[in-house]
Chains A and B, each alone.
Chain A
């Protein structure tokens, strides 16, 4: 049983790797269909913004409240602003924004492509002498890689804003004091989280495209691919997050110390 699961996993990694290779071989400015790219940027970026904002605001508010209540016992309430901001910039903003995109967009990409496979639209793209990688995969991956970092910046801003609202209204922190503590975080704190989102976006898009293209069992297969896309990209984000955090930490050590 475990050997067949391992075989499936290795097959999945091989398939994703092969799709990566095809993606990079098709990646050229001349081959990018700008209309398709802008459409995907709108679908993936603009339409995910409300979800990302709601998630980030509530996360910032809850974090502020929890740290406020927890640290008050030790007289550490003034540290709330710094701790919450640091957590949002380095981890929560980028990771939660990416997870929301994985849930909304990853599922959407897998089900859309899967449905295209089932209704022979992918075959039609090939039969008409064009490439599904160029027409379907390329715009989606590029749109993800462009929009997720921007969404993460929005998530950082509104997350900190949410934390500040709670800090001021519930924890009675001074707004100027809170803002000063927020601004104490430097570019390193921002960039450590920001640069991770490019990798997260790539993971979400490539995994979802791959699973969509692999649909074989009609509508049931579309449902399975959708679920797998969300699960696999979320796991990819969590695993990738650890290694990227470690990588950026090493880079920071090397650059600044």
Chain B
């Protein structure tokens, strides 16, 4: 299988706190990797680094075989068209309507005409169960709807990789299920993804492999087929036995 994303000896420090001591992993094309760990274990920082929102102190990041560790903002633009980031809170532009939020990447990165943009957005909203909300401002939407709009905005350019940062955090079971179904749907279409979550049932359902971060290292990596028999750190974490 093709390696799409690779992290080699990633190290990151904030002030005096060494968050990542030595993180290495590979992500195959079409695979979904779950990143699990306690609060403050650096899951989101690692995810942000994959798209250049944070810079590693040491180590290397590869995307499609290209070392992107030292890319500047300008160089990251083509990478960010291929790697989408789904923010925990949606990070919708609050001065723009739902439609404008979804139109933003299309207007900036495609040559589509306005009628084509409109059609694409309305189709996507329909697919995500958000039809009829295009004129609303994000502040008028529920948390679950904001996350779905955020997800729709992230995938509208058809990325090859999607990075999910706690996509189901703070949602009721109904909205959690909806987001889970959307992630499953995108996975079936062949999208590669990294999922940071505390929601173990979602991680077990969606991910092909789960990496457990502890004290700045990947302490354990479990394949989906081995999850049921797993009795190590991940099992203890999911049972609330370790932080």
* Residues of A near any B CB (own CB < 8 A): 119-121, 123-124, 126-131
CB atoms of B80 and A127 under 8 A apart: yes
CB of A109, distance to nearest CB on chain B (Å): 13
**B87 adjacent to chain A (CB < 8 Å):** yes
Residue on B nearest A125 in the bound complex, by CB: B93
Within 8 A of A (CB), among B102-160: 104-105, 108-109, 153-154
Interface residues of B in 48-68 (CB under 8 A from A): 48, 51-53
| B108 and A129 form a contact (CB under 8 A) | yes
Interface residues of B in 69-89 (CB under 8 A from A): 73, 76-78, 80-81, 84-85, 87-89
Query: Is the pair A119, B94 in contact by a Cβ cutoff of 8 Å?
Result: yes
Q: Return the chain B residue nearest A128 by Cβ.
A: B105
Q: Which of A119, A120, A127, A131 has the most CB of B within 10 A?
A: A127
Q: Given A128-B104, A129-B105, A123–B80 Cβ distance below 8 Å?
A: no
Nearest A residue (CB) for B153: A128
Which residues of B lie under 8 Å from residue A130 when comparing CB positions?
77, 104, 108
Q: Which residue in B85, B91, B154 is a CB contact (below 8 Å) of A119?
A: B91
Chain B interface residue bracket vs A:
20 to 34
Can you list 22 residue pairs at the A/B interface with Cβ under 8 Å? A120-B89, A121-B93, A123-B48, A123-B53, A123-B85, A124-B93, A126-B52, A126-B53, A126-B76, A127-B53, A127-B80, A127-B84, A127-B85, A128-B80, A128-B105, A128-B153, A129-B76, A129-B77, A129-B81, A129-B105, A129-B108, A130-B77
Supposing A126-B73, A129-B77, A131-B73 touch, asked if A121 and B108 sit within 8 A by C-beta, the answer is no
Say yes or no: B105 contacts A124, CB within 8 Å. no
- Which chain A residue lies CB-closest to B48? A123
B80 touches A120 (CB 8 A): no
Expressed in whole angstroms, the Cα–Cα distance for A223 and B91 within the complex equals 20
A129 CA to B82 CA, complexed, in Å: 9
* 15 further A-B pairs in the complex, CB-CB below 8 A; given A123-B53, A123-B91: A119-B89, A120-B87, A121-B92, A121-B93, A123-B87, A127-B53, A127-B80, A127-B84, A127-B154, A128-B104, A128-B108, A129-B78, A129-B81, A129-B109, A130-B108
A129 neighbours in B (Cβ, 8 Å): 76-78, 80-81, 105, 108-109
Residues of A within 8 A of B91 (CB): 119-121, 123-124, 127
Residues of B near A131 (CB, < 8 A) are: 73
Lowest 9 A-B CB distances belong to which pairs? A129-B80, A124-B91, A120-B91, A127-B85, A129-B77, A129-B81, A128-B105, A120-B87, A130-B108
| Contact partners of B109 in chain A: CB under 8 A | 129
B93: chain A residues within 8 A (beta carbon): 121, 124
- A219: min CB distance to chain B, Å: 14
- Please indicate the chain B residues that have their CB under 8 angstroms from the CB of A127 in the complex: 51, 53, 80, 84-85, 87, 91, 154
Tell me the minimal C-beta distance from B169 to chain A in angstroms: 14
State the CA gap A122–B3 with chains docked (Å): 30
Distance from B198 Cβ to chain A, minimum over Cβ atoms (Å): 18
The residues of A that contact B104 with a CB separation of less than 8 Å are 128, 130
User: B80 near A124 (CB under 8 angstroms)?
Assistant: no
A65 to B73, CA, bound (A): 57
User: What distance in Å separates the Cβ of B99 from its nearest Cβ neighbour in chain A?
Assistant: 15
Which residues of chain B are near A123, meaning CB under 8 Å?
48, 53, 85, 87, 91
- With most chain A CB atoms within 10 A of its CB, the pick from B48, B52, B104, B108 is B108
B51 x A121 contact (CB < 8 A):
no
* Distance in angstroms between the alpha carbons of A72 and B91 in the assembled complex: 64
Contacts of A126 in B (CB 8 A): 52-53, 73, 76, 80
A131 to B108, CA, bound (A): 11
- Distance in angstroms between the alpha carbons of A131 and B73 in the assembled complex: 8
Chain A residue numbers with a CB within 8 Å of B88 are 120
Q: How far is the CA of A121 from the CA of B93 in the complex (A)?
A: 6
| Contacts A126-B80, A127-B85, A129-B80 given; does A121 touch B94 at CB 8 Å | yes
Kindly provide the distance from the CB of B87 to the nearest chain A CB, expressed in whole angstroms.
Answer: 5
A121 to B109, CA, bound (A): 18
In the complex, what distance in Å separates the CA atom of A241 from the CA atom of B88? 46
- A121 CB contacts on chain B under 8 angstroms: 91-94
For residue B58, give the distance in angstroms from its CB to the closest CB of chain A.
22
* Complex alpha-carbon distance, A123 and B93, angstroms: 11
Chain A residue with Cβ nearest B80: A129
Q: Are A124 and B108 in contact (CB under 8 A)?
A: no
* A134 (CB) vs chain B CBs: closest residue: B108
A124 with B87: in contact, given A119-B94, A129-B105 (CB under 8 Å)? yes
